[in-house]
A and B are shown apart, each in its own frame.
Chain A
Amino acid sequence: MTPAHLKISALRIFMKGRNLSKENNLQKKNSSSSKIFIAHLFLFFSLGSCATVSYQEADVALRVGDFSTAYSHIAAQEKKGYKKKDLLLYYLDAGMLAHYKQDYALSSRLLEAGERGFAAAQTKSISRELGSFMVNDNVKEYGGEDYENLYINIFNSFNYYHRGLADDAMVEIRRMENKLKSLTLKYSEEFANNKKKLAEQQSLNSQLTEDYSNSAYMQTSSFSNSALAQYMGMLYYRMQHKYDDMRISYQNLKLAFAAQKHLYNFPIPDSVRQENKLDSSKARLNCISFYGLAPVKEEEVLRLPLLPLNWIKISLPAMRPRPSEVATVKLLILPSSAEPVDFADSAQAVELEILEDMGAIAADTFKNRVSSIYVKSILRAIAKSISTIVLQQQSMEKSQQDSGTGLMLGVFSVFSQLYAEFSEQADIRGSHFFPSTAAVAGVSLDEGVYSFLLQYLDKNSNILYTHSFSNVKLEKGKLHLFESFYLR
């Protein structure tokens, strides 16, 4: 018995499982299979093109802290590099780089366009959705990841804060909190439906040898409270002298650590604990440092057994961390009145403490989406495999009556196999410039003018980068919050 015969008998078993084993039904399916295959090919070529954004030059500029050049490289690709369906991706990339280059008004415009893009992505294009069920998820408009949707509010909040718009800065934090509240609800129903779909497929097809519904890909995220958002809220409330609201934000921050230990597996920073009980006669300097780069997606190919001697290929996006060179960030403070001597000898030094592992949160929240992608990929790959098997069977049957038709169907079946192999591509689109770690420091000082440095050190205590701030006037009762980046 040839492999083709084995596949045909396997197909019969499969069809029986789906209550479609009657020959008449099979014949009807056979007659349309070549048309379906051609429709697949059409969709593949008309919708299936991926973004062709080049990050190389922007990455080089980013590594040396030249954010303006990095932004220019990305902005230059708005029309040509980013496809229309990936416009959200452009807003996220350009919005973050505009923030790093301190063009806060531009960054706000871009990030807010991005936020509208997230909302608009809830409304689906029928043709693209259909295409994604037949080809792959790359045909869809980029709908963004949850962590991107959450963290744009943090950076837009900074955009407003730096422009002196405190109310608007707080608006962004409230928006993020609202999104967090609906995050769990958003996926709980979808996850239950996905489990149900897989269970149905399992019961219909006794030849599905694995229990896919209990796969490692069928997980949900439990992230629902961001310590970083709560910390920002604390500082803004303190600025507005709303101490009760500040206390509530601090309680929520403690809850974020206590209830999400897998994401906050480090202690609450001491400086955060102090924020609630500051000496009112002193000025307060707050620094927040963002370093590293958030994970990017890469393709993970799985081949799952479907039938005896057959398998399906699925390609899933997986989050790949981009490890940071930074081991420690130090804050060195020197009164401006002092001689400009070596900071290391005379400055007050404080080590920044990690407040949020944004990379871990990116990976965790992505679990919600992976389960949906996993289920959809399995169903799509099964459909593609059936098309190939049906064409093979038809080719075998026709070759005995009409060798020309049989040969043509045989060629179709080979192309169908190739199509199933190559069209199954993971959607690895994702923003490129979000940081992976947020670390904070807070120091109470006498009112006055100070200069300070943020030093980024590697594990051998070598200085990787120094960000300096000069002649900063610190006054009691005011918020002095400084941001620093080292995206490596």
Chain B
Amino acid sequence: MALVFFASCAPLKVTRLDVENKKSEIDLSGEWNDTDVRIVCDSLVKDASGAPYISRYANEKGRLPVVVVGSFRNESDDHMDTTIISKNMETALLNSGRMDFVATAEQRPEVRAEIRQQQEWTTPETRKAIAQETGADFIMLGNVKVLTDSISRKSIRRYYVYAELIDLQSGKKIWMGNNNQIKKLITRPAVKP
């Protein structure tokens, strides 16, 4: 009885996990999680970094290609924040020095509001001009899909993540990457421990 009482009064326990350590890859519910994001982003970034068209473009134009991140649609049956995938890709590709990125459609109103503020409140020498934004050469789009199969307490989920770079001028797709490495067998226990 006393044991039950003290167990119910146990303080909140928080364990910090080393995200670089494989042991921190923990699946609790079987739904899309941080490990899945890491696996997918690693593979897509590696794929995009090595894309021959992007190297060729930089050589031909004498400057880095400019990319705007567009929508990354969730077409699965998991609630997931797909901007984590697109942001991770943007970060890795920007830091690799192989692409430049411009503000996304969601960010632009805030950027423009700041420039408008500057016209009134900022010293002329530091003020930024209106309508001098860099136009993107490419747009990055993507989506996440899932195939499921289930019976009784078992289900299989396989995720298909696609990303692509599209030339804004020609509409041509210059790079496509996909990852379908995430496949999970989720088995619910028949009885409670």
A residues at B contact (CB < 8 Å) = 116, 119, 122-126, 129, 167-168, 170-171, 174-175, 178, 182, 185-186, 189
- Known contacts A168-B74, A168-B79: A182-B151 contact under CB 8 Å: yes
Query: B7: CB under 8 A from chain A?
Result: no
CB contacts (< 8 Å) of B77 on chain A: these are 171, 174-175, 178
User: Closest approach, in angstroms, between the C-beta of B29 and any C-beta of chain A?
Assistant: 8
Given contacts A123-B190, A125-B192, contact A174 B150 (CB under 8 A): no
Known contacts A171-B76, A171-B77; is-contact A126 B151 (Cβ 8 Å): no
Report if B75 contacts A (CB, 8 A).
yes
Name 9 A/B residue pairs within 8 A (Cβ), A-sorted. A116-B29, A123-B188, A123-B189, A123-B190, A170-B75, A171-B74, A186-B151, A186-B152, A189-B152
Is there an interface contact between B192 and A182, defined as CB atoms closer than 8 Å?
A: no
* Chain A neighbourhood of B148, CB < 8 A: 178
How far, in whole Å, are A122 and B189 apart by their CA atoms in the complex? 8
A122 touches which of B76, B79, B153 (Cβ 8 Å): B153
- Rounded to whole Å, the gap between the CB of B76 and the closest CB of chain A is 7
Please give, as numbers and ranges, the residues of chain B lying within 8 Å of A189 by CB-CB distance.
152
Nearest chain B CB to A242's CB is how many angstroms away?
A: 9
CB distance from B55 to the nearest CB of A (A): 33
What is the bound-complex CA distance between A124 and B152, given in angstroms?
Answer: 13
- SS class of chain B's interface: helix, strand, loop or mixed? loop
Residue of A nearest to B186 (CB): A119
B150 touches which of A125, A170, A171, A182 (Cβ 8 Å): A182
B125-150 vs A: 1/0 string, CB under 8 Å?
Answer: 00000000000000000000000101
Cβ of B116 under 8 Å from chain A: no
Question: Which of chain A's residues have a CB closer than 8 A to the CB of B150?
Answer: 178, 182
Could you tell me the distance between the alpha carbons of A126 and B75 in the complex, rounded to whole angstroms? 38
- Give Cα distance in the complex from A116 to B78, angstroms: 13
- 8 nearest A-B residue pairs (beta carbon): A174-B77, A167-B74, A175-B77, A125-B192, A123-B189, A122-B188, A122-B153, A182-B150
Identify the closest chain B residue to A160 (Cβ): B79
Contact A174 B79 (CB under 8 A): no
Determine whether B73 belongs to the interface, using a CB cutoff of 8 Å to chain A.
Answer: yes
Enumerate chain A residues within 8 angstroms of B75, measured Cβ to Cβ.
167, 170
Q: Which residues of A contact B73 (CB under 8 A)?
A: 167
Interface string of B54-78 (1 = CB under 8 A from A): 0000000000000000000111111
